[in-house]
Amino acid sequence: MASPSPKSPEQSEKNKQYDRQLRLWGDHGQAALENGHICLINATALGTEILKSIVLPGVGAVTIVDHNIVSDEDIGCNFFLECSSKGLNRGSETLRLLLELNPAVQGHAVYEPAEQILRDNPDFFKSFSVVIATSIPEKTIQDLAQHLWDINIPFVLCRSVGFLGSFRIQMKEHTIIETHPENEQIDLRLDVPFPVLAEYLDAFNIDAADLKDHGHIPWIVILYKAVQKWQKTNQNRWPMSRKEKNEIKDIIREFIKKDENGLPIEEENFEEALRAVNTALVPTFLPVKIQDLIYSSSAINLTKESSPFWIMCSALKGFVEAEGKGKLPLRGVLPDMTTSTEHYVKLQSIYRAQAVMEAEIVYRKVQEIVGQLHCDSISEADVKLFCRHAYDLHLIKGSNIVEEYRLGNAVTSYIGRYLEEPDVMMVHYILLRSAEKFQSEHCRAPGEWEPEGDIAKLKTCVTKLLSDISCTPFPKDDHIHEMCRYGGAEIHSVSAFLGGCIAHEAIKIITKQYKPVNNTFIYDGASTNTATFTF
Amino acid sequence: MADGEVQTLDYQQRRWHNIRKLLERSGPFCHPDFEPSAEILDFIMNSCKVLIVGAGGLGCELLKDLALMGFKKLHIVDMDTIELSNLNRQFLFRKNDIGLSKAKCAVEFVNKRVPGCEAVAHHCSIQDLDEGFYRQFHIVVCGLDSIVARRWLNGMLMSLLQYNDDRSLDQSSVIPLVDGGTEGFKGNARVILPGMSACIECTLDLYPPQKTFPLCTIANTPRLPEHCIEYVKVLQWAKENPWGSSTSLDGDDPQHVAWVYEKAQERATKYGITSVTYRLTQGVLKNIIPAVASTNAAIAATCATEVFKLATSCCTNMNNYMVLNMSEGVYTYTFAAEKRPDCIACSNTTRSMEIESNATLQAIYDKLCEDKGYLMKSPGITTIINGRNKTLYMSSIKSIEEKTRDNLKKKITELGLYNGADILVADVTTPNTLTIKLKFSNNLDDDMGR
Ligand SMILES: [Zn+2]
């Protein structure tokens, strides 16, 4: 038998290879990733585990800055080193083996220490999307953090010691349009239907429908009719309280057809309407978070350098104040519901057409602003995407790591609050910071040679840090002892966990999709516990 | 042997320096049984046998993680071969490896990269391996994407449990199971001590129910692009048989996918439905779960850390279930999943099923498929009458299904079942045949409806 030959072109090789991740961040997310360039300082096991999960999905390029020579211990915990790597430069060896994972990724190795680059060629860092550093001393952390803050390049500082690990993300500002919330706010405008929608909803007559049509009435219509009926005896108010919503449910139950014995007939669409009462009757509103965004100074005081996000926020403000009458542009997405194809497609097209119209208004405002500022144009597709996600826009305002190290008032009172609780994850933070201090004072990790002797010395570091925060010393030495037991050891599976998480955060930062950690993450593999702090 | 004696013993090599700190030093948070010593690393390297189930996204990571944590006696089992769409996360494979056995390829790579590692590959399904095979391991770690396979493996480890004369558990028969799973940016990892803590069957309700579309929607009132694709998959393919009646739809055949895509598009256009895409078609046909390297890395590493703790006692284990969500920040939550006292897999009790005396066999069948304690796929039911085995219903073999189909409509008493009778149940979700004692409930209608 002759084979049918479908005309559709086969998918490209690249689409096939990346299929499972394209379902998470789309082709535009992938394009952003492929334009990304990551800089890693120090190719420790943690460093290479991070790069592994960024190289596999296809980042544009990676640059490794590492002047260290490969040791036996490196080979023992770093998968991207071979026995023959011993004595060679760690950056170039790991780079060679990492690039095998994905031929599409470009790679560079730089043999100078980060300190030297900072001193001699600070512009080096300007070209990166994200700079990630592991195992750098206290002084370098602060110098690097300050420089990256000044040139506005995202920075991730990472640590892995024994069962403990952490990462800290430093970004001045990060704006996200596609946050991919677990539960999207539905936007149906039943309380303020636009004319075309009102006309469509009003045309239904629930009681007059025969049994088949009755079972196909979309729940949106049922809800709308129930509220209208309720409003006749309630001064046209909108049902808000639980009691009032229960009254709506009673009306919906009255709508349900009864059989000859007076028992209600099972109708899925009416069941759906009953279930939707609590979520779909929330009045249309402008979320406070979005109001804060569009009235923030970044949206009001635009300059030629303003990012498209802020220009679109400004246009959005214009829309809300004028055509939107206090509301955001319609999302234009209809949830699935039991109904006929005809009703569903019609209703969907009503919502979509209105959303397109409102997005066009916003787009015109964007064009006006762009014209006034003489800045780069913004595509209509981008504005549509922005409007579609207007309810979920998100802004992270970051803080400088140097401030955290200087222990200003805000930082000390923040840490103090958690230590009072007492929060063991904040204790781990103190230990990680103290171990860093120990390293800079003694030129070795606490317990690197033998644990007992360093307990007292590490305790001095901890107590000093705690007194700088105006906190009393820890009553017990157990966590200090445990840190000395680790002796600065890097445990592969702990680094692998953190590597996965940090790679993920870097991808979020580059693709500007999903919300990254704001801004400090602590992991304790011993207790399988994690925490997020915001410094 | 003579060669080995002149060299440094493997566990004393400098490259293991990091791990030795954890194993040769004691700490305030160690497991009470922990005695620091150099022999622990020797045990991990030269005695402790670990089975990795699955050589996919999690399996590749697990093999690497465990090899770098000192384990040498690793076995890995997977029946699959390498595909292009694996390469975005299964980092031990290259384009040249497409079509080769995942287990073999992974083992070859890791044994070469980590000197001394003696991993062994099994290119077969887990069901091909018997009790004797599974019994040789100290720990089993599982990174599967199939719930049915995971349940089968769980059932296997539970069936290895032995009980003493006083009905207490024989501890030496316990093989801990560490299980990981991922879906997109989410995942979970858990530690199961068979017979002692919650097993897979104890917590079946943690798996989300499978999303299905009602047939009448697909056939009569399609609304979503998925409905159109399902229509072509379920109804139109069988009707048109585009490659002849002997060729069934294969989601991996690009020609098949393209055909379904085009037909689904035609149907969508007819109904005014938009957004049927090739990617969506493929996703629906193959029930594709999104996957990314980072989530797999994090979950596998969590599992590897727990395997290391189990093998060394250097730290107490996670108790006992961790969920991870990386879509908003990075969030984890660890809780103690509870053991079901009447679990069909891990409790050492006689199972019983309450059923009305005038019920049909269908009612028993439905209970086995729908009851939260069973959730079986296609149970085969037999019983013993006058010392002889009698098949009541079995759907897995076509000829037997046809012969026994009528039994479903019959009352159980007509089939010779009585209050206290045992039925024997077999299903793909377990390697064991379950014995269930029927308990007739009183037939009084105490609830006359609402
Ligand atoms: Zn159980």
CA dihedral for B403, B404, B405, B411, sign (positive or negative): positive
Q: What stretches of A116-274 adopt beta strand conformation (E)?
A: 130-134, 155-161, 164-170, 173-176
- Reading the block at residue A166, the tokens are 């952490």
The minimal CB distance from A73 to the residues B15, B29, B299 is found for: B15
- Reading the block at residue A357, the tokens are 């119209």
ipTM here: 0.96
Helix axes A308-321, A341-373, angle to 10 degrees: 110
Query: Any chain B CB within 8 A of the CB of A180?
Result: yes
Query: Does the bond joining B287 to the residue before it have cis omega, within 30 degrees of 0?
Result: no
Q: Residue A222 is inside which H or E element, if any?
A: helix A219-232
Bridge partners of B63? none
Chain A: residue whose CA lies nearest to B246: A1
CB A387 within 8 A of CB A329: yes
- Reading the block at residue A276, the tokens are 């939707």
Q: Is the Cβ pair A485, B22 closer than 8 Å?
A: yes
CB B291 within 8 A of CB A24: no
Catalytic residue among B105, B216, B303, B314: B216
Amino acid at B89: R
CA–CA dist B146, B149 (Å, integer): 5
Q: Given pLDDT bands bounded at 50, 70 and 90, which one contains residue B2?
A: very low
Q: Given pLDDT bands bounded at 50, 70 and 90, which one contains residue B158?
A: very high
- Reading the block at residue A201, the tokens are 């909803």
CB A166 within 8 A of CB A502: no
CB B106 within 8 A of CB B113: no
Query: Any chain B CB within 8 A of the CB of A3?
Result: yes
B363-383: per-residue pLDDT in tens?
999 999 998 889 999 999 999
CA–CA dist B302, A493 (Å, integer): 7
Query: Any chain B CB within 8 A of the CB of A492?
Result: yes
* pLDDT > 60? residue B1: no
The minimal CB distance from B305 to the residues A73, A451, A525 is found for: A525
Query: Any chain B CB within 8 A of the CB of A505?
Result: yes
Query: Mean pLDDT score of chain B, rounded to an integer?
Result: 92
Query: Does the bond joining A15 to the residue before it have cis omega, within 30 degrees of 0?
Result: no
Whose CA is closest to A478, among A441, A451, A445, A442? A451
Whose CA is closest to A527, among B74, B160, B315, B7? B315
Give CA B295 to chain center in angstroms.
18
Query: Any chain A CB within 8 A of the CB of B315?
Result: yes
Which distant-in-sequence residues (6+ apart) come within 8 Å of A512 by Cβ?
Answer: A32, A174, A175, A176, A177, A178
- Reading the block at residue B219, the tokens are 């056939």
Look at residue A423 in the predicted model and tell me its pLDDT: 86
CA–CA dist A65, A125 (Å, integer): 11
- Shortest distance between the Cα of A15 and any Cα of chain B, in A, equals 9
A62-108: per-residue pLDDT in tens?
999 999 999 999 999 999 999 999 999 999 999 999 999 999 999 99
- Reading the block at residue A312, the tokens are 């679109």
8-state DSSP, A446: T
Q: Is the Cβ pair B273, A528 closer than 8 Å?
A: no
Q: Which of residues 347-376 of B touch A (CB under 8 A)?
A: none
Amino acid at B353: M
Q: Is the Cβ pair B297, A53 closer than 8 Å?
A: yes
Look at residue B33 in the predicted model and tell me its pLDDT: 86
Look at residue B386 in the predicted model and tell me its pLDDT: 85
Residues of B in contact with A160 (CB under 8 A): none
* pLDDT > 90? residue B426: yes
Look at residue B167 in the predicted model and tell me its pLDDT: 87
Residues of B in contact with A100 (CB under 8 A): 94
Residues of B in contact with A22 (CB under 8 A): 279
Look at residue B3 in the predicted model and tell me its pLDDT: 47
Query: Any chain A CB within 8 A of the CB of B420?
Result: no
Q: Is the Cβ pair B69, A492 closer than 8 Å?
A: yes
Q: Is the Cβ pair A505, B330 closer than 8 Å?
A: yes
Q: Given pLDDT bands bounded at 50, 70 and 90, which one contains residue B446?
A: very low
Query: Any chain A CB within 8 A of the CB of B80?
Result: no
Q: Is the Cβ pair B331, A101 closer than 8 Å?
A: no
Q: How far is the centre of ligand 1, averaged over its atoms, from the C-alpha of B347 (Å)?
A: 6
- Reading the block at residue B433, the tokens are 């045949």
For range B323-350, the mean pLDDT? 93
- Residue that wins the pLDDT comparison between A491 and B441: A491
For range B390-412, the mean pLDDT? 92
* pLDDT > 70? residue B271: yes
Look at residue A10 in the predicted model and tell me its pLDDT: 67
Look at residue B294 in the predicted model and tell me its pLDDT: 97
Minimum mean pLDDT range among A2-6, B99-103, B331-335: A2-6
CB A380 within 8 A of CB A366: no
Query: Does residue B303 carry a catalytic annotation?
Result: no
B160-196: per-residue pLDDT in tens?
999 999 889 999 999 999 999 999 999 999 999 999 9
- Look at the block and give the residue holding tokens 């296997």: B156
Look at residue B447 in the predicted model and tell me its pLDDT: 40
Look at residue B448 in the predicted model and tell me its pLDDT: 39
CB A219 within 8 A of CB A272: yes
B12-62: per-residue pLDDT in tens?
889 999 999 999 999 998 888 899 999 999 999 999 999 999 999 999 999
Query: Does the bond joining A422 to the residue before it have cis omega, within 30 degrees of 0?
Result: yes
- Residue that wins the pLDDT comparison between A298 and A8: A298
CA–CA dist B77, B55 (Å, integer): 7
Whose CA is closest to B374, among B353, B391, B394, B392? B353
Q: How far is the centre of ligand 1, averaged over its atoms, from the C-alpha of A240 (Å)?
A: 45
B241-257: per-residue pLDDT in tens?
999 988 999 998 889 99
CA angle B160, B208, B217 (to 5 degrees): 130
Q: Given pLDDT bands bounded at 50, 70 and 90, which one contains residue B4?
A: very low
A378-435: per-residue pLDDT in tens?
999 999 999 999 999 999 999 999 999 999 999 999 999 999 888 899 999 999 999 9
Query: Does the bond joining A519 to the residue before it have cis omega, within 30 degrees of 0?
Result: yes
- Shortest distance between the Cα of B22 and any Cα of chain A, in A, equals 6
Q: How far is CA A373 from CA A52, A307, A369, B265, B342, in A?
A: 42, 12, 6, 44, 71
CA–CA dist A389, A396 (Å, integer): 16
* pLDDT > 60? residue B67: yes
Mutate which of B330, B331, B333, B335 to test chain A, going by most A C-beta atoms within 10 A? B330
Residue list, CB under 5 A from ion ligand 1: B 199, 201-202, 343, 345-346
Structure pTM?
A: 0.95
Give the DSSP letter string of A450-461.
Answer: -HHHHHHHHHHH
Amino acid at B152: W
Mutate which of B25, B245, B323, B324 to test chain A, going by most A C-beta atoms within 10 A? B25
Q: Is the Cβ pair B293, A500 closer than 8 Å?
A: yes
Give the DSSP letter string of B6-41.
Answer: HSPPGGGSGGGHHHHHHHHS--TTS-TT----THHH
Whose CA is closest to B336, among B321, B324, B323, B346? B321
CA dihedral for B251, B257, B261, B267, sign (positive or negative): negative
Which distant-in-sequence residues (6+ apart) come within 8 Å of A37 by Cβ?
Answer: A59, A60, A61, A62, A63, A127, A128, A129
* pLDDT > 60? residue A357: yes
* pLDDT > 80? residue B444: no
Chain A: residue whose CA lies nearest to B305: A493
Query: Mean pLDDT score of chain A, rounded to an integer?
Result: 95
Within 13 Å, how many C-alpha atoms sit on residue B410's CB side?
A: 12
Amino acid at B226: E
* pLDDT > 70? residue B388: yes
CA–CA dist B164, A515 (Å, integer): 53
Q: Given pLDDT bands bounded at 50, 70 and 90, which one contains residue A9?
A: low
Q: Given pLDDT bands bounded at 50, 70 and 90, which one contains residue A20?
A: very high
Q: Residue A41 is inside which H or E element, if any?
A: strand A37-41
Within 13 Å, how many C-alpha atoms sit on residue A365's CB side?
A: 25
For range A224-238, the mean pLDDT? 95
CA–CA dist A329, A51 (Å, integer): 40
